[in-house]
Amino acid sequence: MSRPTKALISKKALCHNYQVAQELAPNSNNLAVVKANAYGHGAVVVASILEALVPAFGVACIEEALELRAGGIQKPVLLLEGIFSSDEVELAANNNFWIMVDNSQQAEWVLNANISKPVKVWLKVDTGMHRLGVQPKFVNEIYLALRASDNVNNDIVLTTHFSSADEHGSGETANQMAIFDKTKASLQDCLDQADNIPCSLANSAGLLAHPKSHLDWNRIGFMLYGNSPLERENEASKRLIPVMTLKSAIISIREISAGQSVGYNQTWTASRTTKIATVAIGYGDGYPRSAKSGTPTLINGQIAPLAGRVSMDMITIDVTDITDVKLGDKVILWGPELPVNEVAKCSFTIGYEALTRMPKRTPSVLVD
Ligand SMILES: Cc1ncc(COP(=O)(O)O)c(C=O)c1O
């Protein structure tokens, strides 16, 4: 016997979601983003499942890339946040890690490195996110310097990152694409017209909602894990299947009277005679402490609302209206029947954060 709190990871759902991306963008290389421990799903586990399907992986930093190599992953790995010091260039070249160049300092590190084989580089353009990326007016100079260097492969990918592709009706994605196109055209003027500049725009929201953003490379994260990043679902996002089911079980049941409170600081008080079930999961297991009373959980296919504060190891739920509830019953905190986005909304956050906060303490179990 063991504590029933587990994150089940569905191999079938993961492959299905990647297949959805392939069908939506059949002419692109769809790179799988597995940073932050594959959004809480287990980076090596996820990458091992996807390795035969994907052309490359994306992570935030070289430590995450090395973790993939230590786990036996051989496909190229793009460092989405670039490098943090000059010595990382050699490590990247030797391990087939691709370097995102976000600024002139990173470009200098690549240009001045003493390496025996060239490294593949992506050059990020700041088209409006104003977080990372080279400003359009500096792109030609940096791209051409990188292209002329023996340290860099010829096929430098020009890329940018969307700020608002998830928002319904926002014109910002079109604005960013227009700035990108203009930047690319100016660069093309400096190159031989026959020279192809490989490009990458789409993240998950771009892939799902902005077909014009599907270029040579897409970089998809959240949608792979089966949840929609979109403010408003569309036909494409409805095809996704959540990969993680977070589950636990009831370890205690009691009846309390109207007027009695539950949990730390008595934040929830019963308005009727109420059956309270205690479930073996808390914020120490990745369930958000900020989840408010009323946040749905699922028992035997029925919704039971959270009642009172989330503790480190436990939550309490109101099961008065659940039929045949008993000790040991399985409780689903999120999964295919209860989207993590819904739970995240009740916790004043987004599904991305809820998933990536999954701690080591919660064992993950690979299922078919
Ligand atoms: C540069 C870059 N590309 C792609 C992604 C993947 O985004 P998403 O998980 O929304 O698909 C991220 C994630 O934040 C990113 O930083």
Does residue 29 surpass a pLDDT of 70? yes
Average pLDDT (165-191) is 97
Q: What is the rounded distance in angstroms from the CA atom of residue 77 to the CA atom of residue 68?
A: 9
pLDDT tens-digit readout, 215-237? 999 999 999 999 999 999 999 99
Question: Which mutation among 127, 200, 219, 227 tests ligand 1's pocket best, with the greatest number of atoms within 8 A of CB?
Answer: 219
Interhelix angle 88-95/62-70, rounded to 10 degrees, is: 30
pLDDT tens-digit readout, 47-103? 999 999 999 999 999 999 999 999 999 999 999 999 999 999 999 999 999 999 999
Burial 235-268 (b: 16+ CB within 10 A, else e): ebbebbbbbbbbbbbbbeeeebeeeeebbeeeeb
Q: Is 3 annotated as a binding residue?
A: no
35 in active site = yes
Question: Which mutation among 24, 29, 33 tests ligand 1's pocket best, with the greatest number of atoms within 8 A of CB?
Answer: 33
Domains belonging to the chain, first-starting first, are 11-225 (3.20.20.10), 244-367 (2.40.37.10)
pLDDT tens-digit readout, 184-214? 999 999 998 889 999 999 999 999 999 999 9
pLDDT at 240: 98
User: What is the three-class DSSP state of 73?
Assistant: coil
| Per-residue pLDDT band at 1 (split at 50, 70, 90) | low
pLDDT at 113: 98
pLDDT at 193: 86
Measured from the Cα of 203, ligand 1's closest atom is: 11
* Distance from the Cα of residue 68 to its chain's centroid: 16
**Catalytic site residue from 12, 117, 238, 264:** 264
Q: What DSSP line would sit under 270-297, residue for residue?
A: -SSSEEEEEES--GGGT--TTPPTT-EE
Instruction: State in Å: Cα 205 to ligand 1 middle.
Output: 9
Residue percentage of the chain with pLDDT more than 70: 100
